[in-house]
Structure 1
Amino acid sequence: MNVCIIGEGLTALSLAKSLINKKINVHYYHKSRNSNFSSNRTIGISKSNFEFFKEKIFQISKNNYWKINRIEIYTDKIDTENLLKFENDKNDLFYIIKNDKLLKSLNSNLIKSKFFKKILLKKDINEESLNKKKYDLIINCDASNFLAKKYFTKKISKNYYNLAYTTILKHKKIENNTATQIFTKQGPIAFLPISNIETSVVYSIDVKNKKFDNSDVIDLINKNNPKYKINKINKLNSFELSSSNLRNYHHKNILAFGDLLHRIHPVAGQGFNMIIRDIKILSEIIESKTELGLHIDALILSDFEKLTRNKNFIFSSGIDFIYEFFNIEKKIKNKNITKILKTIGKNKNFTNLLIKFADRGINF
């Protein structure tokens, strides 16, 4: 079986690794001649997804991830009682990984495989030239290329008018296994530990009515700092935030994948988790077909869409609801909403339900 993957980044590399583990030939088309692994960005992977990733995709080194066993959520002021608290005495809740470390590890592993071939994406490449190579499947992870513009334009979209600012704090050593999220007047800010001396920051700032420069953002990070004695704040990176859900997942033997399928607000740290769940489902479909001795062709793409599209839309809508819910109080200036949620949050069954939702999506 021969598969073409178009795109760059963790989604494309993780999918490629999943396929070559099944001894499927993968041609990986990428734009950059020299891979740039420098990044202040991190990803959070839930416990069940982390276990699947290690078992079925790639064994992540212990030096490349950090365990989170507690999450605290506040509204506006860190010195008040937390709004919600999630913890599990027996298990870690999720794991934080630096993008650049996982990218480097995956890339180094893949290029050693005889089933993997990297191909620089030429400007003159088109659908006809891909079809001449007679790929069984073409998987497109690039939301802006010729395939996306031709076949995958119908989607439900939303502009949050937010900029997500990311950086890494260097700070004095502390016991650092609690993630903190604060819903400030400017937007949600998350402090995500990656070691006892480093913490990743993701700050989604509302820029619809006011612009912020980097110095403003740094001031806000310092203002909302929950506990860290900061030695250094790395350079800020930023990107626009929007959500989208694709209406059709495939065309003939071409499958849309990753952010092209669904893009969500980072408020709950679930973007890459959705992608891992998609890889798991696609992997299970391929395994079931091959075990029956069936040829892998475009029919599996229909199966994939049937099993994922509705679930992905419901999950994406849930993340959007979380973002908008915490915006309500800011818009209507009514503290009763926070009081109600704080009361509900003391119910262990409710918090356990949210933990399962974050861990397994709507499959729990």
Structure 2
Amino acid sequence: MYHLIFIVKIKIIMNVCIIGEGLTALSLAKSLINKKINVHYYYKSKNSNFSSNRTIGISKSNFEFFKEKIFQISKNNYWKINRIEIYTDKIDTENLLKFENDKNDLFYIIKNDELLKSLNSNLIKNKFFKKIILSKNINEEFLNKKGYDLIINCDANNFLAKKYFTKKISKNYYNLAYTTILKHKKIENNTATQIFTKQGPIAFLPISSTETSVVYSMDIKNKKFDNSDVIDLINKNNPKYLINKIDKLNSFELSSSNLRNYYHKNILAFGDMLHRVHPLAGQGFNMTIRDLRILTKIIEDKIELGMQLDSQIFDEFEKKTKDKNFVFSKAIDLIYESFNLDKKVQNKSFSKIIKNIGKNKNLNNYFIKLADVGINF
């Protein structure tokens, strides 16, 4: 007698709530709907005002993951960087460190608002995605009644953050980051430049042959700067550009933080809520993409096994990411503090030590890999 065994794969309908707005929340939403998960996206206002002079740098491995698993970024919306030069104003013309890879680009610069608009336009056409205005009537009880499998919070200032995610290790840098875009004469523009000045680190990040983004993290603990001061210092530290115009300056305060607990029951904190770092290494959004990579892989595995999404996903995610994120965040803080101390010391010893380290090819390649893929242990 023969027995016929039928394996029936049950389709499980999964519903996820994402609270917050911005690049992290939209990228997460796109990643989930790509897996045919229903996403309710709660945001604050219909008229979100995204600054046109903010840019992000995405490392090569993260960029490839983003294009393959999340969203295909148009070639018109990113600019390749194949060389990084780091200077200190104690050594006038010779670079302190230099990173380059003859075979590959190091990272890509993308305008925040362009990627946001593209993601938003793509999402609103998808049947698995629904946008909902976050009104005062929406609270935890309301969300629980909706029966979401998972709730992912990307907003550090809402009711969930204030109730469940207040324990963190925090640090105020007493820095104000000024951002703008330089419009300049056309040049070959694929080298990112960072200069550690007495006022703080300034980064020149190319976004086209005629435009370069500037991020100047200025120490305001002992001295305040007005916009004209900042523009004067940008011009003073300008490495090579023949500037036609400097766009309006925007600014925001800088701090670092690491959240002690990543989740509560079926509620996960995500993005900058988990870890906020100084922008000098350009690793903030890269850390978030690495988190997204791990989180979506865990969810993908559960779906493949036909399992319902629940808080075990968040427990696994925290175990795989929390220690790495903490160590990586502290490494960036150490870089900041080392250069911050050096600018107060009236000698070139530290700079020369760093320069000698940079000449070591193996160490140079290690730093490139670390910036690209993060910590793996």
**Counterpart for residue 244 of structure 2:** 231
User: 1:242 aligned to 230, 243, 255, which one?
Assistant: 255
Q: Letter of the 1:128 partner, please give it.
A: E
Q: Which residue identity does 1:346 align to in structure 2?
A: K
| Count of equivalent residues | 364
Residue aligning to 1:176: 189
Does structure 1 residue 81 correspond to structure 2 residue 82?
A: no
Secondary structure of the corresponding residue to residue 344 of structure 2: helix
Q: Is the 8 A contact 1:242 1:263 kept in 2?
A: yes
Partner residue in 2 for 1:20? 33
TM-score normalised over the length of structure 2: 0.95
Residue 126 (str. 1) matches residue 127 (str. 2): no
Deviation (angstroms), 1:332: 2.8
The reply to whether residue 198 of structure 1 matches residue 211 of structure 2 is yes
Residue by residue over 1:220-241, the C-alpha shift from the partner in whole angstroms, topping out at 9 and shown as x without a partner, is 0000000000000000000000
Instruction: Give the 3-state SS of the residue equivalent to 2:148 in structure 1.
Output: coil
Pick aligned residue for 2:113 from 85, 100, 105: 100
> Any idea what SS the aligned residue of 1:32 has?
coil
Q: What residue in structure 1 maps to residue 83 of structure 2? A: 70
Matched, 1:350 2:363: yes
Matches of 2:18 and 2:232, distance apart in 1: 42
Partner-residue secondary structure (3-state), 2:343: helix
Alpha-carbon distance in 2 for matches of 1:213, 1:116: 43
Normalising to structure 1: TM-score of the pair? 0.99
Please give the per-residue CA displacement for 1:334-353, whole angstroms capped at 9, x wherever unaligned: 31111111111111111101
Within the alignment, does 1:216 sit opposite 2:229 as a pair? yes
Give percent identity, aligned residues only. Answer: 84
Cα deviation, residue 290, structure 1: 1.3
- Displacement after TM superposition at 1:79 (Å): 4.0
Please give the secondary structure, in 2, of the residue aligned with 1:181.
strand
- Residue 27 of structure 1 contacts residue 116 of structure 1 at CA under 8 Å; is this kept in 2? yes
Matches of 1:267 and 1:35, distance apart in 2: 26
Structure 1 CA distance for aligned equivalents of residues 156 and 168 of structure 2: 12
> Do 1:37 and 1:104's aligned partners in 2 also have CA atoms closer than 8 Å?
no
Matches of 1:335 and 1:236, distance apart in 2: 32
AA at the equivalent of 2:165: F
Question: Out of 167, 182, 185, which is 1:154 matched to?
Answer: 167
| RMSD over aligned Cα atoms | 1.0
Residue deviations 1:266-321 (CA, integer Å, cap 9, x gap) = 00000000000010000100111111121111110000000010000011001101
Superposition deviation, residue 125 in structure 1: 1.3
Greater Rg by CA: 2
Distance 1:38 1:148 in 2: 24
Say whether 1:253 aligns with 2:266: yes
Q: 1:316 maps to what in 2?
A: 329
Question: Unaligned 5+ residue runs, structure 1?
Answer: none
Secondary structure at the aligned position of 1:362 is classed as: coil
Residues in 2 aligned to 1:173 and 1:141: alpha-carbon distance in whole angstroms: 39
Are the counterparts in 1 of residues 78 and 110 from structure 2 also a CA contact under 8 Å?
Answer: yes
Q: Secondary structure at the match of 1:331?
A: coil
Contact persistence 1:78–1:182 (CA under 8 A): no
Q: Which residue of 2 aligns with 1:265?
A: 278
Provide the residue aligned with 1:274 in structure 2.
287
Give the aligned partner of residue 220 of structure 2: 207
